[in-house]
Amino acid sequence: DAGVIQSPRHEVTEMGQEVTLRCKPISGHDYLFWYRQTMMRGLELLIYFNNNVPIDDSGMPEDRFSAKMPNASFSNLKIQPSEPRDSAVYFCASSLGSGSGTDTQYFGPGTRLTVL
Amino acid sequence: GDSVTQMEGPVTLSEEACLTINCTYTATGYPSLFWYVQYPGEGLQLLLKATKADDKGSNKGFEATYRKETTSFHLEKGSVQVSDSAVYFCALSAPMYSGGGADGLTFGKGTHLIIQP
């Protein structure tokens, strides 16, 4: 399996622009997670999906952030409008999932976002 | 809420030295505990995990034991190599039936490990 695929790997944009980050989970995995990594706050869970349905979006920082999972093979995270403080590495992860908390999450390589 | 505390480093050791990275947690119910490793420019990879008290996770010479009485999951290795240089994250997930967030992971801040030849 190719693992979790994220695109783009790097994104540089200007403040106010819309940014879309993409993720393809491992085939057969029921759960998909979006995380953000910054020096100040470390790794934070933003939102996760089970069977394409958003389960918990309490980590999404503001209304400027939105995420969708239109099918089992794809999810996107949008920031509109983007701000310099959104600069971070965004990771997507997937897992088989059971609700028991024991399953391993498999991470993509991340998208490094820089907002100027 | 759930939280994980780990030494942030950087931790610098010589090759073949013994390693311990401390990790303690607070959580509702009975969490599963994980160590993930991140090499430069890459995503996180699972290093080892333990899903119940007194379980020991092990992989690539690394070990960690789930200690419920001390709420700890310290990472150890007897002899480190230069290739072990990376950032190590301790994490937990608490099951939904105990009030946790299902499989969403709560991470520590990460420990940057540098091994010198």
Per-residue pLDDT of B7-34, as tens digits, reads 888 999 999 999 999 999 998 778 899 9
Q: Do B105 and A33 touch (CB under 8 A)?
A: yes
CA-nearest residue of chain A to B111? A42
Q: What is the mean pLDDT of residues B62-71?
A: 96
* Residue A93 confidence (pLDDT) above 80: yes
Distance between terminal CA atoms of chain B?
Answer: 41
CA-nearest residue of chain A to B98? A100
Are B47 and B36 spatial neighbours (Cβ–Cβ below 8 Å)? yes
Instruction: Choose from A35, A91, A102, A112 for mutation: most chain B CBs within 10 A.
Output: A102
Q: What pLDDT score does A2 carry?
A: 80
- Closest CA relative to residue A21, chosen from A13, A30, A11: A11
B20 part of contact set with chain A, CB < 8 Å: no
Q: What pLDDT score does B97 carry?
A: 52
Question: Which is higher by pLDDT, A104 or B66?
Answer: B66
Question: Using CB atoms, which residue from B46, B89, B101 is nearest to A43?
Answer: B89
Question: Which is higher by pLDDT, A61 or A77?
Answer: A77
Q: Do A33 and B103 touch (CB under 8 A)?
A: yes
Q: Do B103 and A101 touch (CB under 8 A)?
A: yes
The share of chain A scoring above pLDDT 90, in percent, equals 76
The C-alpha atoms of residue B75 and residue B20 are separated, in whole angstroms, by 6
Sheet holding B19-21, edge to edge: B19-21, B75-77, B62-65, B56-59
For A12-64, the pLDDT digits (tens) are 999 999 999 999 999 999 899 999 999 888 899 999 998 999 988 888 988 99
Distance between terminal CA atoms of chain A?
Answer: 36
Q: What is the mean pLDDT of residues A8-14?
A: 97
Query: Which residues on chain A are in Cβ contact (under 8 Å) with B109?
Result: 42
Question: Using CB atoms, which residue from B51, B95, B110 is nearest to A99?
Answer: B95
For B32-60, the pLDDT digits (tens) are 999 999 998 888 999 999 999 999 999 99
Q: What pLDDT score does A25 carry?
A: 97
